[in-house]
Amino acid sequence: MTEKTRNIGIMAHIDAGKTTTTERILYYTGKSHRIGEVDDGAATMDWMPQEQNRGITISSAATTTYWNDHRINIIDTPGHVDFTAEVERSLRVLDGAVAIFCAVGGVEPQSETVWRQADSYEVPRIAFVNKMDRIGADFFSVIQEIREKLGATPVPLALPIGAESSFSGTIDLITMKERHWNSGDSGRTIEEHPIREDLLLLAEEWREKLLDAVSAHSDEITERILDEQEVPPELIRTILRQETLKRSLVPVYVGASLKNIGVQSVLDGVIDFLPAPEELPPLQGMHPKKGEPVLVERTDEGQTVGLVFKIQTDREAGNLCFVRLYQGTLKSGTAIFNHNQGKRERVNRIFRMHANRTEQTDRLVAGEIGVIVGFKIAQTGDSFGSEGFPVILERMHFPEPVISVAIEPRTMSERERLQEVLQLLTREDPTFLWKEDEDTGELIISGMGELHLDVLVTRIVEDYKVNAKVGNPQVTYRETITSEMDHTEVFHKVIAGKENHAELTLRVSPRKRGAGNHFESSVPLSKLPDPFASAAARGITGAFNSGISLGYPTVDIRVELIDAVYSELTATEFAFEAAGAMAFDNACRKAGATLLEPVMKVTVLVPQDFMGEVINGITTRGGLVHAVESRPGVEHILAEAPLKKMFGYSTALRSTTQGRGNYSMEFSHFAPDSGR
């Protein structure tokens, strides 16, 4: 059993200190014998050359370490919005998470995005307010933002002693002791002292708030408070654990990872408050053929059930499939069944990962995360396990790419190699797509942002040694319709002397923005039996990505098949599939096509002196400023702007603010095109 196992992720906005915190965790737990620094390009978990060069996390790195007789499987996820797929697939398989917030920046845009992703997978969390040593650090402001922006109930378990350059330690609100980390041994040893008199009043105030928070969930604590009895630390921890697992409370720690303060407290919190795998409720999957619900118990006994959550290509080993095992046991040298693909796969070898290093093991049990070598056909999100226990777990959902560039090899002899590499990268990254333009023959790659595509192109050129050139970034548009329309399509074609005939009537109508496409049929199978009904549906849904008048994928269209005519003599699947595609295209043209462009949520952090110029720059680019939030020494400008006007914005912002401003940008929604 895995009652002493924790599967956790470390998540935050870029530059909140995720990787720096992870490096301290590895050092204090004995996994590494020196602290790797992000700024030096030496962070253990940032092992890709680009991560070391750019000082950011691009790929989710996994490792296993130990603390207080517990195994902790850690995934350090990217903080940049362009790599949201890495966060999504990590949260899908984790049992708990540590959310890190910058004491200066507070709850920033990617913090909100990742928090929502964690909410969707019902992941319990603890929080760590980091960087208390920085100018402008404000612990209490961050607590307020967690409450207001995230809708969570934060419960501080520690208070900072001082701030900025005077930050020197914490006050433990459970034990009511001061804690000070020894700078002489990189914070390995911690000294505890009684709370000094000038801090006692503040500590007692926040201790009372802590007791108020837990007493709302415990009659025993309430009675002890009313009877003016001491509340034991273990009782507080028990109720906090209970409510953290229910996601009704979020324990909050404080520190400064770069100064080696506070990290061991977070490790204690992982053990104390985040769940072991078997403490979570059973998973609900679906029978792949019957569509009936199937319960997956979190036990190492019984049938095997697992999920592929990431695929990475290794030049020597081939496909490295990162997996989470939910039920049963998986042994190397055995065969399993991929329920999504409907085929058997072989488990040649099993590894545990430490960044880019591997440690071989002979098996995984329920609750563990590992890497399988040997899978040939598995895709991200595939469910696998015992052939006699068919179940498909909920798949991960990834956003559509919003930016594209043309990429071409410098010599025609390299074109085939480039296409092979693009196929490999597509398998690794679900938010990366490529296609060959039907009219020009150009290879078009699409991703989540300029940085995302820049990283991928660098990998193509430097890692895979393909000499390629790229064009300027292009926006990925969408098409939709403006009115409801009925259309009847008659398809008739004689092929090799055989008639192929189909007649369909569709009704298309616009849906709410962001609702996506939806197809349904009101024609009974008695009037249009299978396989012709299925062929018509394939033709209609297959045309969703073909565009209307400009060839961009369609969105937010409701399609209803309202009538059909078929003859047993001339009806063919080919005819009904072709009629479906043509009917959709012609109905949408008659309904009036309109172009939609991606609009981005933009957050700019600038000193107050430059605020006016920056707001003017956003407005000039067609943006709309929604709010300005003031923080000590910095202004947060919250805006929306069309993506096509934001190319090159980082250079413009650096110029305007003399290098003192920075920004983040993520997809918000599609809106009618503002004109090209």
Residue 79 assigned ligand-binding role: yes
Tell whether 30 is in a known binding site.
no
Point out which residues pair with 406 in neighbouring strands: 444
Rounded distance, CA 382 to CA 7, Å? 20
Whether 300 has a binding-site annotation, put simply, is: no
Tokens of 295: 């319960």
Residues 171 and 199 sit within 8 Å (Cβ to Cβ): yes
DSSP state for residue 251 in the 8-state scheme: E
Query: Shortest CA distance to 517 belongs to which of 558, 486, 545?
Result: 558
Is 80 among the annotated ligand-binding positions? yes
CB 133 within 8 A of CB 260: no
pTM: 0.74
Residues of the chain with pLDDT below 70 are 1-2, 34, 36-61, 76, 78-85, 354-357, 439, 676
Helices 573-591 and 532-542, interaxial angle, to 10°? 40
How big is the CA angle at 124 (ends 118 and 126), to the nearest 5 degrees?
A: 100
131 is in an annotated binding site: yes
Per-residue pLDDT reduced to its tens digit, 81-127: 556 667 777 888 899 999 999 999 899 877 887 898 889 889 999 99
Q: Is 16 annotated as a binding residue?
A: yes
Q: What's the pLDDT tens digit per position in 186-202? A: 999 999 999 999 999 99
Closest to 367 (Cα-Cα) out of 282, 284, 276, 295: 276
The pLDDT of residue 15 is 81
pLDDT score of 35 = 76
Q: Is residue 407 annotated as involved in ligand binding? A: no
State whether residue 433 is helix, strand or coil: strand
pLDDT given for residue 59 in this prediction: 44
- Assess contact for 80 and 56: CB atoms under 8 A: yes
pLDDT of residue 533: 95
What is the spatial distance between Cα 58 and Cα 627, in angstroms, rounded to a whole number? 30
Cβ-count burial 110-134 (b if 16+ within 10 Å, e if not): bbbbbbebbeeeebbbbbbbbbbbb
Q: Is 636 annotated as a binding residue?
A: no
On whether 369 is known to bind a ligand per the annotation, the reply is no
Check the annotation: does 130 bind a ligand: yes
Q: Is 212 annotated as a binding residue?
A: no
Structural domains in the chain, sorted by start: 5-273 (3.40.50.300), 283-393 (2.40.30.10), 403-475 (3.30.70.870), 483-591 (3.30.230.10), 595-672 (3.30.70.240)
78 among the known binding-site residues? yes
Beta strand spans in 140-282 (E): 154-156, 158-161, 169-172, 177-181, 190-193, 250-254
Query: Is 449 within any annotated ligand binding site?
Result: no
